[in-house]
Amino acid sequence: MRMISFARTVAAAALTTALALVAGCGGSDSDTDAGEDGKALKKVTYLTSFGSFGRDAYAWVAKDKGFFEEAGFDVRIRPGQGTGGVIPAVVSGQAQFGPIDLTGGLLHMGNGQSKDFVAVAAIQQRTMAAIATTEGNGIATPKDLEGKRLADTPGSVVRNLFPTYARLAGVDADKVTWVNGEAQTLMGTLAGGSVDGIGQFVVGKPTVEAVTKKKAVLLPYSDVIPDLYGNVLITSTKIAEQDPEMVRRFTAALLKGLEYSLAHSKEASEILKRNVDTTNPTAAAAELESMAAYVAPKDGSGTAIGTLDSGRVAKSIKILEEAGTLPKGMTPEQIIDFDLVPKA
């Protein structure tokens, strides 16, 4: 497929999914339907972290393999637009669950942008945030970002965390220009040459290369800011307080889909393709294979996926405080419900 045709296809898909999000997110979290065994299924809307890429395939896998239904849910999956889009949708009740980057969530909550949401499980044990570009754009080190033009969604963690990343990497953030983009069209924007780089997760490298037809270059934030968690599953404080058992059942089903996807990346990419026409199965499978190392607990202890450690979160908070991007005084318990987090 030619680059311009691909970009148009992705743009059309973004419009379609955006309209579907508006149409599909209005359902009440109290709606029910009947499963194959006649038992009532609770209708839930779930937002992906960022578009409909391979890294989020595990939600469709959980639905396709029946994990959600076995747990008592009829789940509608809609494409998210990053941390800044998922949080307000969950808080307002347009969606009941969705993954956000934990660091982005800390920044939103600590700076008063958002409240009334809690994290209930880890998706990735390390941040996957990065700046992505391609060879020929003159970006090989963080310092090379000065004077360049980057694109990302307004509320993405890559963009919100950039001032901290820039400060620690010795980059003058004022010399970097950011422009707004949409999750599904960012790679097409990079391919078209209107920007020098985009906010992206490190696992997006295969998809960047598939879209741009060039070798990708990534600047992972974890190289500069170690020990930060990646995505975490969130729900509203209201749901967590009123129906904790429902949260535990949903979390377990989603994590089962995550574990299955990492063990069967090719099958997971094919499931994603059946649900999202624009999927490149090869790139989607490669994203899942790259993500596996980020999902496993950091110490390699074999601890169950999904766990969150209060000490590590406190360390992340301290890093952000010392960088001047987070007010002092925030605690892990303000953003994480440790009673609902899977046990180690």
Instruction: Tell me whether domains 42-125+229-334 and 129-223 share a fold.
Output: yes
What is the rounded average pLDDT of the residues 145-163? Answer: 91
Residue 293 neighbours by CB under 8 Å, 6+ apart: none
Residue 130 has pLDDT above 90, yes or no: yes
Mean pLDDT confidence for 29-48: 76
Say if residue 27's pLDDT is above 50.
Answer: no
DSSP 113-167: S--SEEEEEES-SS--EEEEEETTSS-SSGGGGTT-EEEE-TT-HHHHHHHHHHH
Distance between CA atoms of 75 and 250, rounded to whole angstroms? 10
**pLDDT value of position 35:** 60
Please report the pLDDT score of residue 2 as a whole number. Answer: 36
Residue 68 has pLDDT above 70, yes or no: yes
Residue with tokens 């094919």: 270
Residue 87 has pLDDT above 90, yes or no: yes
Position 226 confidence tier, pLDDT thresholds 50, 70, 90: confident
What's the confidence (pLDDT) of residue 333?
97
* Residue 104 phi, psi dihedral angles, 5° rounding: -60, -40
- Nearest CA to 57 out of 258, 292, 297, 231 is that of 258
| Domain boundaries of the chain, sorted by first residue | 42-125+229-334, 129-223
Query: pLDDT at position 303, please?
Result: 66
pLDDT at position 253 over 90: yes
Give how far Cα 79 sits from Cα of 71, 85, 154, 323, 325, Å: 22, 10, 16, 32, 28
Give the confidence band of 32 by pLDDT, cuts at 50, 70, 90: low
> Residue range 221-232: average pLDDT?
91
* pLDDT band with cut points at 50, 70 and 90 for residue 267: very high
pTM for the structure as a whole: 0.80
Residue 6 has pLDDT above 70, yes or no: no
pLDDT of residue 28: 40
Per the document, the length of the chain is 344
**124-133, 168-177, 320-329, 330-339: which has the minimum mean pLDDT?**
320-329
Fold of 129-223: D-Maltodextrin-Binding Protein; domain 2 (3.40.190)
pLDDT band at 140 (very low <50, low <70, confident <90, very high): very high
CA distance 218 to 140: 8
CATH fold of 42-125+229-334: D-Maltodextrin-Binding Protein; domain 2 (3.40.190)
Mean per-residue pLDDT of the chain: 88
Q: What pLDDT is recorded for position 23? A: 41
Q: Residue 134: left if φ>0, alpha if ψ -120 to 50, beta else—which one? A: beta
